[in-house]
Amino acid sequence: MSAAAPAQVIAIPSKRRNVEIAPPDRIDDDAYLGQYIPLHYHGQMLADEARLSAFQEAIEKLVPEGSHVVELGGGTGVLSYFASKKARKVTCIERIPHVAAAARRLIELNGASHKVRVFEGDARTFVPDEPADVVICDMLHAALVRDKQIAVIEDFKARHEAHFGRAIPIVIPEATILAVQPVFQPYEFSGGFTAPVPLFYQAGNPHTPTVELGAPEVYAIVEYARETPVDFVFDRLMTIDTAGTINALRFVTKNVVGIYPKEARTSDWHMSYLSIPLPEPITVQAGERIRVRFQYEAGASMQSLGNAISATPWRRTR
């Protein structure tokens, strides 16, 4: 497949701020994630059966026959390939040159080049040559930090409506549910080395040594076809179920990739849990309440979120 023409660019003012709420130590995460995932990471994403099966089912059920699908941040093009089975046309935008080239090669290898066009360009400034019926975007990260899922989708929706005069009816995934939970997270590693650092681990893995000391509480439900939040703010009293020491907050991220009202079910993808250590551990008793606080901007750095969290015992004043 030959290289597609340069992507059309339309400048639309963004509603999003260019600063993070939580303080300093900024890291240029754009150099690592968002639209900047090099090809050698995509093999792991392709091997994630939970991710791919959820997206495949949602695309099969939600993409209308004969529609135009736009994928933002297409990577290897696998989701565009799924969409090509139902769509009349698929427009795939990928920023990294060598990944875009790989996507063209893989789309042709899988017999979908007659429907899928891969553009090399920035999803944040891209406008397709005709209106989109469906938008697919998997720039997802635990707690919706680092990756630019919300920023890219919101900016694309604004450009699309300004250019074509119509909103996008379907966005895949449809929603993300964010929750937080007080836990004890072991931070002792081989050789007796203690290191309280952010940890990722498989959701639902029964062999994870994390001790849950309270129930997870939802702090945001993001619906991508609607206006999405820029900031996430949490300041609540959480009840402790089990006595112990809280030394971390666990962030739970559930992506509702597809919603099927007639079947009364959804296709879900639970991302890896993310445990971030507290500045100071606190000892708690069952039935006690603690005040948990944090705030961060969607797509902010991991360090920004880590600097923003706190948990303190709550004492009722007479």
pLDDT per residue as tens digits for the range 240-297: 999 999 999 999 999 999 999 999 999 999 999 999 999 999 999 999 999 999 999 9
Query: Given this model, what pLDDT does residue 25 score?
Result: 43
Domain end, chosen from 146, 172, 198, is at 172
Q: How many domains does the chain have?
A: 2
Query: Given this model, what pLDDT does residue 316 score?
Result: 57
Tell whether 166 and 186 lie within a shared domain.
no
Tell whether 155 and 44 lie within a shared domain.
yes
Query: Given this model, what pLDDT does residue 178 score?
Result: 98
Tell whether 204 and 235 lie within a shared domain.
yes
**pLDDT band at residue 11, thresholds of 50, 70 and 90?**
very low
Tell whether 140 and 278 lie within a shared domain.
no
CA-closest candidate to residue 285, choices 316, 248, 251, 314: 314
Residue 146: CB atoms within 10 A of its CB come to 22
Q: 8-12, 140-144, 178-182, 294-298: lowest mean pLDDT where?
A: 8-12
Q: Which domain holds residue 242?
A: 175-313
Is 24's pLDDT higher than 50?
no
State the chain's mean pLDDT as an integer. Answer: 89
Tell me the percentage of the chain whose pLDDT exceeds 90: 78
User: Which CATH number goes with the domain that contains 55?
Assistant: 3.40.50.150
Tell whether 259 and 128 lie within a shared domain.
no
Across the range 71-97, mean pLDDT stands at: 96
Tell whether 31 and 163 lie within a shared domain.
yes
Tell whether 167 and 182 lie within a shared domain.
no
Query: Given this model, what pLDDT does residue 35 score?
Result: 55
Tell whether 28 and 41 lie within a shared domain.
yes
Domain end, chosen from 131, 154, 172, is at 172
Residue 1 lies in a domain: no
Residue 52 lies in a domain: yes
Across the range 43-67, mean pLDDT stands at: 93
Query: Given this model, what pLDDT does residue 47 score?
Result: 84
Tell whether 187 and 158 lie within a shared domain.
no
- Label the pairing between strands 273-284 and 217-223: unpaired
CA-closest candidate to residue 143, choices 307, 315, 312, 297: 297
- Tens digit of pLDDT for each residue in 203-242? 988 888 999 999 999 999 999 999 999 999 999 999 999 9
Domain end, chosen from 172, 195, 213, is at 172
pTM to 2 decimal places: 0.87
**pLDDT band at residue 34, thresholds of 50, 70 and 90?**
low
Tell whether 143 and 13 lie within a shared domain.
yes
Residue 299 lies in a domain: yes
Residue 318 lies in a domain: no
Q: Please report the beta strands in the chain, taking only residues with DSSP state E, as ranges in sequence order.
A: 8-9, 68-72, 89-94, 116-120, 126-127, 134-137, 170-172, 175-184, 188-189, 193-194, 199-201, 211-212, 217-223, 231-239, 244-260, 265-270, 273-284, 289-297, 310-313
Residue 2 lies in a domain: no
Query: Given this model, what pLDDT does residue 55 score?
Result: 98
